[in-house]
Structure 1
Amino acid sequence: MSDASFRISRRGFLNLTALGAASAAVSACSTTGPGPEPVQPPPPAYVEPPLGDYETMYGPMSDNGFDLPAIPVNKIDHRFLRQIVPDPTGQRPGTIVVDTTNHFLYLVREGGQAIRYGVGLGRAGFEWSGDAVVQWKQKWPKWTPPDEMVARQPELTQFSAKNGGMQGGLKNPLGARALYLFQGNQDTLYRLHGSPEWWSIGKSVSSGCVRLINQDIIDLYDRVPNKTPVVVTADIGEPVADMPERRAIPIDNGVPTGSILLGPVRQLTNEIF
Protein backbone atom coordinates (compact mmCIF):
# COMPACT_ATOMS: atom_id res chain seq x y z
CA MET A 1 0.00 0.00 0.00
CA SER A 2 1.35 3.38 -0.94
CA ASP A 3 1.88 6.17 1.56
CA ALA A 4 -0.82 8.23 -0.24
CA SER A 5 -3.40 5.48 0.11
CA PHE A 6 -2.51 5.10 3.77
CA ARG A 7 -2.92 8.80 4.36
CA ILE A 8 -6.38 8.89 2.68
CA SER A 9 -7.58 5.85 4.59
CA ARG A 10 -6.33 7.26 7.87
CA ARG A 11 -8.07 10.61 7.17
CA GLY A 12 -11.34 8.77 6.36
CA PHE A 13 -11.09 6.77 9.57
CA LEU A 14 -10.58 9.91 11.63
CA ASN A 15 -13.59 11.56 9.94
CA LEU A 16 -15.83 8.58 10.71
CA THR A 17 -14.63 8.57 14.29
CA ALA A 18 -15.48 12.26 14.65
CA LEU A 19 -18.99 11.74 13.22
CA GLY A 20 -19.61 8.89 15.62
CA ALA A 21 -18.54 11.01 18.57
CA ALA A 22 -20.83 13.82 17.49
CA SER A 23 -23.77 11.43 17.17
CA ALA A 24 -23.08 10.10 20.64
CA ALA A 25 -23.02 13.64 22.02
CA VAL A 26 -26.37 14.46 20.41
CA SER A 27 -27.87 11.23 21.71
CA ALA A 28 -26.67 12.04 25.21
CA CYS A 29 -28.55 15.40 25.11
CA SER A 30 -31.89 13.90 24.00
CA THR A 31 -34.56 12.30 26.21
CA THR A 32 -36.31 9.07 25.48
CA GLY A 33 -39.64 9.96 27.26
CA PRO A 34 -42.35 12.40 26.13
CA GLY A 35 -41.61 16.09 26.65
CA PRO A 36 -43.72 18.46 28.77
CA GLU A 37 -47.12 19.42 27.41
CA PRO A 38 -47.10 22.86 25.80
CA VAL A 39 -48.77 25.49 27.95
CA GLN A 40 -52.09 26.54 26.41
CA PRO A 41 -52.92 30.23 26.74
CA PRO A 42 -56.22 30.93 28.52
CA PRO A 43 -59.18 31.59 26.23
CA PRO A 44 -59.69 35.29 25.57
CA ALA A 45 -62.30 36.96 27.75
CA TYR A 46 -65.58 37.64 25.95
CA VAL A 47 -65.89 41.23 24.85
CA GLU A 48 -69.30 42.55 23.82
CA PRO A 49 -69.21 44.00 20.28
CA PRO A 50 -69.36 47.80 20.33
CA LEU A 51 -72.78 49.35 19.95
CA GLY A 52 -71.87 52.22 17.66
CA ASP A 53 -72.35 55.94 18.06
CA TYR A 54 -75.48 57.53 19.48
CA GLU A 55 -76.40 59.33 16.28
CA THR A 56 -76.56 55.96 14.52
CA MET A 57 -78.30 54.05 17.32
CA TYR A 58 -80.93 56.73 17.79
CA GLY A 59 -81.21 57.98 14.23
CA PRO A 60 -84.37 57.81 12.12
CA MET A 61 -85.38 54.33 11.05
CA SER A 62 -88.05 52.65 8.99
CA ASP A 63 -89.56 49.62 10.70
CA ASN A 64 -92.40 47.44 9.49
CA GLY A 65 -93.91 50.28 7.50
CA PHE A 66 -93.54 52.91 10.25
CA ASP A 67 -91.03 55.76 10.14
CA LEU A 68 -89.50 56.42 13.53
CA PRO A 69 -88.03 59.91 13.98
CA ALA A 70 -84.51 60.49 15.28
CA ILE A 71 -84.11 60.91 19.02
CA PRO A 72 -82.44 64.18 20.16
CA VAL A 73 -79.76 62.42 22.21
CA ASN A 74 -78.20 65.69 23.36
CA LYS A 75 -81.40 66.44 25.29
CA ILE A 76 -81.24 63.16 27.25
CA ASP A 77 -78.97 62.48 30.22
CA HIS A 78 -76.36 60.18 28.66
CA ARG A 79 -76.60 57.81 31.62
CA PHE A 80 -79.90 56.68 30.16
CA LEU A 81 -78.65 56.01 26.64
CA ARG A 82 -77.82 52.47 25.55
CA GLN A 83 -74.32 51.42 26.60
CA ILE A 84 -72.14 48.49 27.62
CA VAL A 85 -71.27 48.49 31.33
CA PRO A 86 -69.78 46.09 33.91
CA ASP A 87 -72.63 43.87 35.07
CA PRO A 88 -73.76 44.94 38.56
CA THR A 89 -76.54 42.36 38.91
CA GLY A 90 -74.80 39.03 39.45
CA GLN A 91 -77.46 37.31 37.32
CA ARG A 92 -76.62 34.74 34.70
CA PRO A 93 -76.10 35.84 31.08
CA GLY A 94 -79.33 36.26 29.16
CA THR A 95 -81.30 37.62 32.13
CA ILE A 96 -83.11 40.96 32.02
CA VAL A 97 -82.90 42.96 35.25
CA VAL A 98 -85.00 46.08 35.84
CA ASP A 99 -83.64 48.40 38.53
CA THR A 100 -86.69 50.50 39.42
CA THR A 101 -84.73 52.72 41.83
CA ASN A 102 -82.23 53.95 39.26
CA HIS A 103 -84.39 53.68 36.12
CA PHE A 104 -82.13 51.19 34.36
CA LEU A 105 -82.78 47.95 32.51
CA TYR A 106 -79.83 45.55 32.19
CA LEU A 107 -79.47 42.71 29.70
CA VAL A 108 -76.77 40.52 31.25
CA ARG A 109 -74.12 39.33 28.79
CA GLU A 110 -71.09 37.05 28.93
CA GLY A 111 -67.77 38.15 30.39
CA GLY A 112 -69.15 40.17 33.31
CA GLN A 113 -70.79 42.73 31.03
CA ALA A 114 -74.31 44.04 30.51
CA ILE A 115 -76.10 46.22 28.01
CA ARG A 116 -77.83 48.98 29.97
CA TYR A 117 -80.88 50.91 28.79
CA GLY A 118 -82.60 53.84 30.45
CA VAL A 119 -86.27 53.39 31.27
CA GLY A 120 -89.24 55.45 32.34
CA LEU A 121 -91.46 53.93 35.01
CA GLY A 122 -95.19 54.30 35.45
CA ARG A 123 -97.04 53.50 38.63
CA ALA A 124 -97.43 49.90 37.51
CA GLY A 125 -93.67 49.77 37.10
CA PHE A 126 -93.06 50.87 40.69
CA GLU A 127 -95.70 48.66 42.27
CA TRP A 128 -94.49 45.33 40.92
CA SER A 129 -91.36 43.38 41.75
CA GLY A 130 -90.27 39.78 41.49
CA ASP A 131 -89.31 37.17 38.91
CA ALA A 132 -91.02 36.65 35.58
CA VAL A 133 -90.37 35.34 32.10
CA VAL A 134 -90.81 36.84 28.64
CA GLN A 135 -93.56 34.59 27.37
CA TRP A 136 -94.72 36.62 24.37
CA LYS A 137 -93.19 39.29 22.15
CA GLN A 138 -94.91 41.51 19.66
CA LYS A 139 -93.85 44.02 17.02
CA TRP A 140 -96.04 47.12 16.89
CA PRO A 141 -98.49 45.54 19.33
CA LYS A 142 -102.18 46.17 19.58
CA TRP A 143 -103.20 48.05 22.72
CA THR A 144 -106.35 47.17 24.61
CA PRO A 145 -106.90 49.40 27.66
CA PRO A 146 -108.22 47.63 30.77
CA ASP A 147 -111.92 48.00 31.47
CA GLU A 148 -111.17 50.03 34.60
CA MET A 149 -109.22 52.53 32.51
CA VAL A 150 -112.00 52.77 29.96
CA ALA A 151 -114.50 53.42 32.77
CA ARG A 152 -112.43 56.38 33.98
CA GLN A 153 -111.66 57.67 30.51
CA PRO A 154 -114.72 57.11 28.28
CA GLU A 155 -112.84 58.49 25.28
CA LEU A 156 -110.93 55.20 25.28
CA THR A 157 -114.11 53.20 24.62
CA GLN A 158 -113.24 53.05 20.92
CA PHE A 159 -110.15 51.02 21.88
CA SER A 160 -111.87 48.68 24.36
CA ALA A 161 -111.62 44.92 24.08
CA LYS A 162 -115.10 44.66 22.56
CA ASN A 163 -114.10 47.22 19.92
CA GLY A 164 -110.90 45.43 18.98
CA GLY A 165 -108.29 47.64 20.70
CA MET A 166 -105.91 50.17 19.13
CA GLN A 167 -103.83 48.90 16.26
CA GLY A 168 -100.05 49.27 16.41
CA GLY A 169 -98.63 52.60 15.32
CA LEU A 170 -96.61 55.65 16.25
CA LYS A 171 -99.24 56.85 18.75
CA ASN A 172 -99.88 53.48 20.37
CA PRO A 173 -98.94 53.56 24.10
CA LEU A 174 -97.03 50.28 23.77
CA GLY A 175 -94.71 51.71 21.13
CA ALA A 176 -92.74 49.74 18.56
CA ARG A 177 -92.39 46.55 20.60
CA ALA A 178 -93.77 44.91 23.72
CA LEU A 179 -92.38 42.07 25.83
CA TYR A 180 -95.15 40.39 27.82
CA LEU A 181 -94.16 39.07 31.25
CA PHE A 182 -95.71 35.96 32.74
CA GLN A 183 -95.34 34.51 36.21
CA GLY A 184 -96.40 30.98 36.88
CA ASN A 185 -99.15 30.14 34.41
CA GLN A 186 -100.66 33.59 34.01
CA ASP A 187 -99.98 36.87 32.34
CA THR A 188 -98.83 39.40 34.93
CA LEU A 189 -100.11 42.17 32.64
CA TYR A 190 -96.71 43.76 33.24
CA ARG A 191 -94.91 44.95 30.11
CA LEU A 192 -91.55 46.09 28.85
CA HIS A 193 -92.57 48.34 26.00
CA GLY A 194 -91.60 51.18 23.71
CA SER A 195 -92.66 54.79 23.86
CA PRO A 196 -92.35 57.80 21.57
CA GLU A 197 -92.01 60.00 24.67
CA TRP A 198 -88.21 60.01 24.83
CA TRP A 199 -88.28 62.85 27.39
CA SER A 200 -89.84 60.48 29.96
CA ILE A 201 -86.82 58.15 30.03
CA GLY A 202 -85.08 58.20 33.41
CA LYS A 203 -88.18 59.62 35.06
CA SER A 204 -91.28 58.49 36.90
CA VAL A 205 -94.34 59.05 34.75
CA SER A 206 -98.06 58.70 35.24
CA SER A 207 -98.74 55.65 33.13
CA GLY A 208 -97.29 52.49 31.71
CA CYS A 209 -95.05 49.79 33.12
CA VAL A 210 -91.41 49.92 31.98
CA ARG A 211 -91.02 52.09 28.89
CA LEU A 212 -87.95 52.39 26.69
CA ILE A 213 -87.11 54.63 23.75
CA ASN A 214 -88.54 52.95 20.66
CA GLN A 215 -85.06 52.42 19.17
CA ASP A 216 -84.00 50.75 22.42
CA ILE A 217 -86.98 48.40 22.72
CA ILE A 218 -86.37 47.32 19.11
CA ASP A 219 -82.75 46.56 20.00
CA LEU A 220 -83.74 44.66 23.15
CA TYR A 221 -86.48 42.74 21.31
CA ASP A 222 -83.96 41.47 18.77
CA ARG A 223 -81.57 40.28 21.49
CA VAL A 224 -83.90 38.25 23.72
CA PRO A 225 -85.88 35.11 22.90
CA ASN A 226 -89.13 33.95 24.44
CA LYS A 227 -88.67 32.45 27.92
CA THR A 228 -86.00 35.03 28.81
CA PRO A 229 -85.94 35.37 32.62
CA VAL A 230 -86.71 38.81 34.05
CA VAL A 231 -85.93 40.14 37.52
CA VAL A 232 -87.62 43.35 38.66
CA THR A 233 -86.15 44.79 41.83
CA ALA A 234 -86.14 48.08 43.73
CA ASP A 235 -82.36 48.23 43.84
CA ILE A 236 -79.51 46.21 42.39
CA GLY A 237 -77.86 44.06 45.02
CA GLU A 238 -80.90 43.95 47.29
CA PRO A 239 -82.96 40.75 47.70
CA VAL A 240 -85.80 40.45 45.22
CA ALA A 241 -88.99 41.33 47.05
CA ASP A 242 -92.19 39.35 46.77
CA MET A 243 -94.89 40.87 44.62
CA PRO A 244 -96.82 43.31 46.86
CA GLU A 245 -100.47 42.77 47.66
CA ARG A 246 -101.42 46.22 46.36
CA ARG A 247 -100.51 46.78 42.76
CA ALA A 248 -101.52 48.93 39.86
CA ILE A 249 -103.89 47.97 37.11
CA PRO A 250 -101.55 47.40 34.15
CA ILE A 251 -101.37 49.20 30.87
CA ASP A 252 -103.38 46.73 28.79
CA ASN A 253 -106.01 44.04 28.98
CA GLY A 254 -103.87 40.96 28.40
CA VAL A 255 -102.02 38.79 25.92
CA PRO A 256 -104.04 37.61 22.92
CA THR A 257 -105.68 34.19 23.04
CA GLY A 258 -103.26 31.40 22.17
CA SER A 259 -100.27 32.48 24.23
CA ILE A 260 -98.72 29.79 26.46
CA LEU A 261 -99.55 30.02 30.16
CA LEU A 262 -96.99 29.14 32.82
CA GLY A 263 -98.39 29.47 36.44
CA PRO A 264 -100.60 31.45 38.90
CA VAL A 265 -100.19 35.09 39.82
CA ARG A 266 -101.95 37.11 42.50
CA GLN A 267 -104.95 39.21 41.64
CA LEU A 268 -104.08 42.62 40.15
CA THR A 269 -105.91 45.52 41.76
CA ASN A 270 -105.95 49.30 42.00
CA GLU A 271 -105.15 51.66 39.18
CA ILE A 272 -102.37 52.77 36.93
CA PHE A 273 -103.08 56.49 36.46
Structure 2
Amino acid sequence: MLPEVSRRKFSFGVGAVGILGASSVSAHPFTLPEHFLPQLVNTRQRDWLPGDVHVVPDEFHLYFMLENGRAIRYGVGVGRTGLYESGVFTVARKAEWPWWRPTNAMIRRNPEQYARFADGMPGGPNNPLGARALYLYDDDGHDTYLRIHGTNAPRTIGSAVSNGCARLTNEHVTDLYPRVDVGARVYLYPKVTTA
Protein backbone atom coordinates (compact mmCIF):
# COMPACT_ATOMS: atom_id res chain seq x y z
CA MET A 1 0.00 0.00 0.00
CA LEU A 2 2.77 2.46 0.83
CA PRO A 3 4.34 4.09 -2.20
CA GLU A 4 7.97 3.51 -3.05
CA VAL A 5 9.52 6.94 -3.04
CA SER A 6 12.74 8.27 -4.44
CA ARG A 7 13.69 11.32 -2.40
CA ARG A 8 14.62 14.37 -4.41
CA LYS A 9 14.46 17.85 -2.98
CA PHE A 10 12.75 20.72 -4.69
CA SER A 11 14.79 23.39 -6.37
CA PHE A 12 12.32 26.11 -5.29
CA GLY A 13 12.08 27.53 -8.78
CA VAL A 14 9.41 27.68 -11.46
CA GLY A 15 7.11 24.68 -11.12
CA ALA A 16 8.38 23.81 -7.67
CA VAL A 17 7.03 24.90 -4.31
CA GLY A 18 7.42 28.54 -5.16
CA ILE A 19 6.42 30.27 -1.93
CA LEU A 20 8.60 28.13 0.29
CA GLY A 21 12.24 28.35 1.07
CA ALA A 22 14.75 29.26 3.69
CA SER A 23 13.24 32.71 4.13
CA SER A 24 9.78 31.45 5.09
CA VAL A 25 8.65 33.06 8.31
CA SER A 26 6.19 31.48 10.71
CA ALA A 27 4.31 33.03 13.60
CA HIS A 28 5.25 29.87 15.49
CA PRO A 29 8.92 29.22 14.59
CA PHE A 30 9.77 25.55 14.47
CA THR A 31 12.09 23.56 12.23
CA LEU A 32 10.44 20.52 10.71
CA PRO A 33 12.47 17.38 10.13
CA GLU A 34 13.71 17.32 6.53
CA HIS A 35 11.45 14.43 5.48
CA PHE A 36 8.38 16.57 6.31
CA LEU A 37 9.46 19.43 4.05
CA PRO A 38 7.84 19.59 0.60
CA GLN A 39 9.75 17.43 -1.87
CA LEU A 40 9.30 16.34 -5.45
CA VAL A 41 9.15 12.53 -5.38
CA ASN A 42 8.50 9.60 -7.69
CA THR A 43 5.77 7.51 -6.09
CA ARG A 44 5.89 4.82 -8.82
CA GLN A 45 2.09 4.76 -8.43
CA ARG A 46 0.88 4.95 -12.05
CA ASP A 47 -2.77 4.60 -10.98
CA TRP A 48 -2.61 7.72 -8.80
CA LEU A 49 -4.01 10.39 -11.12
CA PRO A 50 -2.69 13.93 -11.58
CA GLY A 51 -4.53 16.44 -9.40
CA ASP A 52 -5.56 13.87 -6.79
CA VAL A 53 -4.44 13.94 -3.16
CA HIS A 54 -3.30 10.87 -1.20
CA VAL A 55 -2.76 10.86 2.57
CA VAL A 56 -0.73 7.93 3.95
CA PRO A 57 -1.24 8.25 7.72
CA ASP A 58 1.45 5.86 8.91
CA GLU A 59 4.04 7.87 6.95
CA PHE A 60 2.51 11.23 7.92
CA HIS A 61 2.74 12.28 4.29
CA LEU A 62 0.34 13.86 1.83
CA TYR A 63 0.98 13.44 -1.90
CA PHE A 64 -0.32 15.91 -4.47
CA MET A 65 -0.10 14.03 -7.74
CA LEU A 66 1.57 15.35 -10.87
CA GLU A 67 2.17 13.46 -14.14
CA ASN A 68 3.75 10.00 -14.51
CA GLY A 69 3.66 9.02 -10.84
CA ARG A 70 5.50 12.12 -9.68
CA ALA A 71 4.12 14.06 -6.73
CA ILE A 72 4.76 16.88 -4.33
CA ARG A 73 5.04 15.27 -0.91
CA TYR A 74 4.21 17.25 2.23
CA GLY A 75 4.46 16.27 5.89
CA VAL A 76 1.12 16.14 7.72
CA GLY A 77 -0.44 15.49 11.09
CA VAL A 78 -3.47 13.19 11.12
CA GLY A 79 -6.39 12.21 13.32
CA ARG A 80 -5.68 10.39 16.52
CA THR A 81 -6.71 6.78 17.05
CA GLY A 82 -10.49 6.44 16.97
CA LEU A 83 -10.98 9.75 15.13
CA TYR A 84 -9.07 9.20 11.91
CA GLU A 85 -11.44 8.21 9.09
CA SER A 86 -10.16 6.56 5.94
CA GLY A 87 -11.98 6.68 2.62
CA VAL A 88 -12.27 8.44 -0.70
CA PHE A 89 -13.62 11.99 -0.69
CA THR A 90 -14.08 15.00 -2.94
CA VAL A 91 -12.88 18.54 -2.34
CA ALA A 92 -16.22 20.36 -2.54
CA ARG A 93 -15.02 23.78 -1.46
CA LYS A 94 -11.93 25.69 -0.38
CA ALA A 95 -11.43 28.67 1.93
CA GLU A 96 -8.66 31.11 2.76
CA TRP A 97 -8.36 31.95 6.47
CA PRO A 98 -11.51 29.90 7.09
CA TRP A 99 -14.12 30.38 9.78
CA TRP A 100 -14.20 27.44 12.21
CA ARG A 101 -16.64 25.84 14.61
CA PRO A 102 -15.91 22.64 16.54
CA THR A 103 -18.27 19.80 15.71
CA ASN A 104 -20.90 18.80 18.25
CA ALA A 105 -18.94 15.59 18.85
CA MET A 106 -15.80 17.61 19.67
CA ILE A 107 -17.77 19.73 22.15
CA ARG A 108 -19.22 16.61 23.79
CA ARG A 109 -15.80 14.91 24.02
CA ASN A 110 -14.05 17.94 25.46
CA PRO A 111 -16.43 20.71 26.57
CA GLU A 112 -13.71 22.50 28.57
CA GLN A 113 -11.70 23.06 25.41
CA TYR A 114 -14.40 23.51 22.77
CA ALA A 115 -17.71 24.72 24.27
CA ARG A 116 -16.55 28.35 24.28
CA PHE A 117 -16.28 28.14 20.47
CA ALA A 118 -19.81 26.80 19.94
CA ASP A 119 -20.72 29.98 18.03
CA GLY A 120 -17.63 29.69 15.85
CA MET A 121 -14.37 31.54 15.43
CA PRO A 122 -13.40 33.90 12.61
CA GLY A 123 -10.42 33.07 10.44
CA GLY A 124 -7.00 34.26 11.48
CA PRO A 125 -3.62 33.10 12.77
CA ASN A 126 -5.09 31.64 15.98
CA ASN A 127 -7.87 29.73 14.22
CA PRO A 128 -7.33 25.92 14.37
CA LEU A 129 -7.91 25.59 10.60
CA GLY A 130 -4.97 27.87 9.91
CA ALA A 131 -4.36 29.73 6.67
CA ARG A 132 -6.30 27.51 4.24
CA ALA A 133 -8.81 24.65 4.29
CA LEU A 134 -10.01 22.06 1.79
CA TYR A 135 -13.47 20.71 2.71
CA LEU A 136 -13.98 16.99 2.10
CA TYR A 137 -17.41 15.69 1.07
CA ASP A 138 -18.64 12.13 0.51
CA ASP A 139 -19.95 10.80 -2.80
CA ASP A 140 -23.53 11.74 -1.83
CA GLY A 141 -22.50 15.40 -1.54
CA HIS A 142 -22.55 15.55 2.27
CA ASP A 143 -19.93 17.41 4.30
CA THR A 144 -17.89 14.85 6.24
CA TYR A 145 -16.46 17.55 8.55
CA LEU A 146 -13.05 16.27 7.50
CA ARG A 147 -10.61 18.92 6.30
CA ILE A 148 -7.13 19.26 4.95
CA HIS A 149 -6.05 22.46 6.61
CA GLY A 150 -3.25 24.55 8.03
CA THR A 151 -2.17 24.63 11.62
CA ASN A 152 -0.67 27.18 13.96
CA ALA A 153 0.96 24.25 15.81
CA PRO A 154 3.69 23.02 13.42
CA ARG A 155 5.08 20.68 16.09
CA THR A 156 2.04 18.44 15.46
CA ILE A 157 3.23 17.55 11.94
CA GLY A 158 4.25 13.90 12.01
CA SER A 159 1.84 12.96 14.79
CA ALA A 160 -1.69 11.65 15.23
CA VAL A 161 -3.30 14.26 17.47
CA SER A 162 -6.11 15.92 15.53
CA ASN A 163 -9.87 15.36 15.73
CA GLY A 164 -9.76 13.58 12.37
CA CYS A 165 -8.43 16.12 9.88
CA ALA A 166 -5.11 16.18 8.04
CA ARG A 167 -3.04 19.25 8.85
CA LEU A 168 -0.04 20.90 7.22
CA THR A 169 1.96 23.90 8.35
CA ASN A 170 0.36 27.17 7.29
CA GLU A 171 3.19 27.75 4.80
CA HIS A 172 2.75 24.32 3.23
CA VAL A 173 -1.05 24.42 3.04
CA THR A 174 -0.77 27.86 1.41
CA ASP A 175 1.40 26.24 -1.25
CA LEU A 176 -0.89 23.21 -1.67
CA TYR A 177 -4.13 25.23 -1.78
CA PRO A 178 -3.95 26.68 -5.32
CA ARG A 179 -2.76 23.35 -6.71
CA VAL A 180 -5.88 21.43 -5.61
CA ASP A 181 -9.02 22.04 -7.65
CA VAL A 182 -12.57 21.86 -6.35
CA GLY A 183 -13.68 18.41 -7.47
CA ALA A 184 -10.31 16.77 -6.79
CA ARG A 185 -10.39 13.31 -5.25
CA VAL A 186 -8.79 12.78 -1.85
CA TYR A 187 -7.73 9.33 -0.67
CA LEU A 188 -7.26 8.91 3.07
CA TYR A 189 -5.66 5.50 3.49
CA PRO A 190 -6.33 3.30 6.51
CA LYS A 191 -3.88 3.32 9.36
CA VAL A 192 -1.85 0.13 9.61
CA THR A 193 -0.25 0.97 12.95
CA THR A 194 -2.28 2.13 15.96
CA ALA A 195 0.50 3.96 17.79
Indicate the TM-score class for this superposition, using the shorter chain for normalisation: 0.7 to 0.9
- For the residue of structure 2 that corresponds to 1:230, the secondary structure is strand
* TM-score, structure 2 normalization: 0.80
The structure number with the bigger radius of gyration is: 1
> Between Structure 1 and Structure 2, how many residues are aligned?
175
* Contact 1:125–1:209 (8 Å) recurs in 2: no
Task: Name stretches of at least 5 consecutive residues in structure 2 with no aligned partner.
Answer: 1-13
1:11 is matched with none
1:249 is matched with none
RMSD between aligned alpha carbons? 2.4
Query: Which whole-Å deviations, capped at 9, do the CAs of 1:100-137 have from their partners, x for residues lacking one?
Result: 11110000001331000000112279631111110010
Quote the offset at 1:71 in angstroms.
Answer: 4.3
Partner of residue 17 from structure 2, selected from 51, 67, 76: 51
Q: In 2, Cα distance between the equivalents of 1:148 and 1:141?
A: 20
1:180 is matched with 135
Quote the offset at 1:188 in angstroms.
Answer: 1.1
Q: Which residue identity lines up with residue 55 of structure 1 in the other structure?
A: A
Does residue 215 in structure 1 map to residue 171 in structure 2? yes
Does residue 106 in structure 1 map to residue 63 in structure 2? yes
Query: Which whole-Å deviations, capped at 9, do the CAs of 1:208-231 have from their partners, x for residues lacking one?
Result: 511100011111111111001111
Does residue 133 in structure 1 map to residue 100 in structure 2? no
Partner of residue 147 from structure 2, selected from 166, 187, 191: 191
Q: In 1, Cα distance between the equivalents of 2:101 and 2:150?
A: 15
Partner of residue 94 from structure 1, selected from 46, 51, 57: 51
Cα distance change, pair 157–168 in 1 and its aligned pair in 2 (3 A): same
Query: Which whole-Å deviations, capped at 9, do the CAs of 1:16-46 have from their partners, x for residues lacking one?
Result: xxxxxxxxxxxxxxxxxxxxxxxxxxxxxxx
Does residue 156 in structure 1 map to residue 150 in structure 2? no
* TM-score, structure 1 normalization: 0.58
- For the residue of structure 2 that corresponds to 1:105, the secondary structure is strand
Percent of pairs with identical residues = 38
1:169 is matched with 124
Which protein has greater RCO, CA pairs closer than 8 Å, 6+ apart? 2
Cα distance change, pair 155–218 in 1 and its aligned pair in 2 (3 A): same
Task: Name stretches of at least 5 consecutive residues in structure 1 with no aligned partner.
Answer: 1-47, 61-67, 239-273
Q: In 2, Cα distance between the equivalents of 1:182 and 1:100?
A: 19
- For the residue of structure 2 that corresponds to 1:55, the secondary structure is coil
User: Higher helix fraction: Structure 1 or Structure 2?
Assistant: 1
